[in-house]
Amino acid sequence: MSNSNECNDTNNNIIKGFLYEKQIKDYIINNLQKNAYLWSETPETILVSNGIIGSHNELRLRRKENKLNPLRDTGIDIIQIENNNKISFVHGRKSISNLIQFNILFCFLSLT
């Protein structure tokens, strides 16, 4: 396979993954009647109030110093707001297996 085909396959998989995550978010909002945000669009106030980031200023400084998105991909695809205003992490993964791999589970456990 040529490099351009590999690039196209990678880009197609990224697009498919994003669309799948958006579909899961829309399902949570429309069927479960709960607020939900893609990880990349979660309001900072929700992240601060739930202790995911320390403060708005901390996030601003990380952006300024690193010139990168400080909210790097952690495996959390969606933040779901529960009825008690607590949050749940959602990992939307479409696969042929119903088993959760340990490394995925460990990623979430290490965040708590």
Work out how many domains the chain is built from and give that number: 1
What is the full DSSP assignment across the chain? --HHHHHHHHHHHHHHHHHHHHHHHHHHHHHS---EEEGGG--HHHHHHTTSSS-HHHHHHHHHHH-S-SS---S--EEEE-TTS-EEEE-----S--PPPHHHHHHHHHH-
**Which structural domain, as residue segments, surrounds residue 48?**
3-111
pLDDT at residue 44 greater than cutoff 70: yes
68-102: pLDDT as tens digits: 555 556 678 889 999 888 888 888 765 544 555 55
Question: Taking residues 3-21, what's their average pLDDT?
Answer: 78
Task: Give 65 or 70, the one with higher predicted confidence.
Answer: 65
Supply the pTM of this predicted model.
Answer: 0.67
